[in-house]
Amino acid sequence: MEKKTHFSIWYIIGVVMVMLFVQALLSALLFRPNIEQVHYSEFMKKVQDGTIKSVEITDQNLVGIMKGTGENAKEKIYTTIRVPDDTLIPTLKAHNIDFYGKAQNPWLRNLLSWILPIAIFFFIWRWLFGRMGNTLSKGISSFGKNQAKVYTGSKADVTFDDVAGVEEAKEELKEIVEYLRNPGKYDKMGARLPKGVLLVGAPGTGKTLLAKAVAGEAGVKFFSLSGSDFVEMFVGVGASRVRDLFKQAQQQAPCIIFIDELDAVGKARGITPYSNDEREQTLNQLLSEMDGFNTAKGIVILAATNRPEILDPALLRPGRFDRQILVDKPDMSGRYEILKAHTRWVDLADDVALHRIAAETPGFVGADLANIVNEALLLAARKGKERVHMEEFDEAIERVVAGLKKKNRLMNPEEKRRVAYHEVGHAVIGSLLTDEPVHKISIIPRGIAALGYTIQLPTEERYLITKSELLGKIAVLLGGRASEDIFFDDISTGARNDLEKATEIARRMVVEYGMSDKVGLTTLEKPQQVFLGIEQQFNIEKRYSPVTAELIDEEVRDILTDNYRKVKKLITEHRDTIERIAQQLLQSEVMDEKTFTRLLKIEEQPLLK
């Protein structure tokens, strides 16, 4: 890719200086060398002294050539402004000086001294703006050209072997690859290739990587661009770019068009009270083009989004994006395969267990796991190690989960003691009321505001969660506040984030999951959608009355209050155990699962009902 020159005011200054230099040079050549400008009286004195041998008379000037002395003497030229003088010609005749008239050529002089430098300036200016890719040199029509990057089959060197953890999505896309390789096989059966395939999934799950793998496997040209590349501040530009894109694609068929972040251009029309004519025109043109082109040529449109709920319904109907493929977060086996793919060229120590890392990272997507591997490599290099050990992977996971360790954030002894009892309260309640073992407890500050943290890891992948398990999660979140209340007879602001999460779980139990006896089985709210930082509520019908809203608030408050009361009772019953663990944590600052289990020494209690 050619590197573009950045615009600078020094370019203009340089061009002006060059123009002035060229003008001065041409003027010097035009008016002859060794010219000395003198007054008219001095010029006439040299005529009378016999210094000048010949005089050239023009309309405005007198040019006198001085007599040279010696064999190699150069002629010196004097020039002066011509003034009305009736004695000029008689004086020249009296001193036997040759004189002759010469008609001036002003247009040639102007051409050489002004027009030529301006022409040079214009060509230099054009060259500079051509280097900068300025639209003045390319023409206004460049606004309407599509911004897609085109890759050939050889350059798109990503294949399905480079994609791990999303086997179901790969299987779906292999059919597209097979059609692009052998379209006749499907044409004989009368099968029609899907016009569009929409990859849906959370950020970082590998949607863009899958699209590149499809192009690499099929060996066809790959047009890649983002949804935001279509939209400009000028109305009509986006629609023009869509037309240009599909025109090029039909000329290069078979090929793949990949539109990343489709929601940037494909938001549902009328989703907000504010209109955007440019975006809607672009969307209308995209819908029209997808209806108009023929898939028999082998053109496949791939698109990716993590917000399918806000896409325009016209995009998702059959005949446009016929197929939607979910690129979900990987399960434990998928995370293991992703880690294997990212550590193929990494020199791992013998103590590194990728299965354990996969088990310790529930909910992580491919981008998160790639970040963990990179963080572990950086830590190993910083320590001067030649191989990456499990120690670096554990530290990398903590960095991603809890943030960077704050070595310079020193807590006073009283705050440190409060944080220790707070975190042990979470851990003990988690051991009593949930099946997720406590993996680690720390009172070392990390991240922006975390003064301590407790990590619990699930023993297996879960896709459903029961009411008792949700109550158990609320209890664990309230364990820190309850421990502070009992051991210090006072509370602090440290439980703010815990209370936010507990309140959110309780509210969802009431308004989404139908887990409240008072409110009943009705689902009262949809999951909140965020549009431009504003909760998208203006197009969702309000589904309950003010009386029901008061009942919801009362029920959420009752769930939290009842659980808090039961958690305080459990902490009081196991006060000695919490005291013992907290004292050990104050000394070591970090406690692993083995040490915590040894210090617990209590029987598990029934789940909180």
Active site residues: 423
Query: What number of CA atoms fall less than 13 Å from residue 55's CA on the CB side?
Result: 25
Residue type, 532: L
CA 475 to chain centre: 39
CB of 406 closer than 8 Å to CB of 414: no
User: Which burial class, exposed, middle or buried, applies to 414 when counting CB atoms under 10 A from its CB (0-12, 13-18, 19+)?
Assistant: exposed
State whether residue 226 is helix, strand or coil: strand
CB of 336 closer than 8 Å to CB of 184: no
Residue type, 260: D
Contacts with 306 (C-beta within 8 Å, 6 or more apart), sequence order: 200, 201, 202, 203, 207, 263
Q: What is the 3-state secondary structure (H, E, C) of 268-323?
A: CCCCCCCCCHHHHHHHHHHHHHHHHCCHHHCEEEEEEECCHHHECHHHHCCCCCCE
Instruction: List helix spans (H) across 308-405.
Output: 313-316, 332-342, 354-359, 366-382, 390-402
Q: How many helices (H) and strands (E) does the chain have?
A: 23, 16
Query: What number of CA atoms fall less than 13 Å from residue 47's CA on the CB side?
Result: 29
State whether residue 389 is helix, strand or coil: coil
Q: What are the Cα distances from residue 530, in Å, to 68, 205, 270, 386?
A: 92, 20, 15, 46
- Determine the Cα–Cα distance for residues 242 and 286; give it in Å rounded to an integer: 6
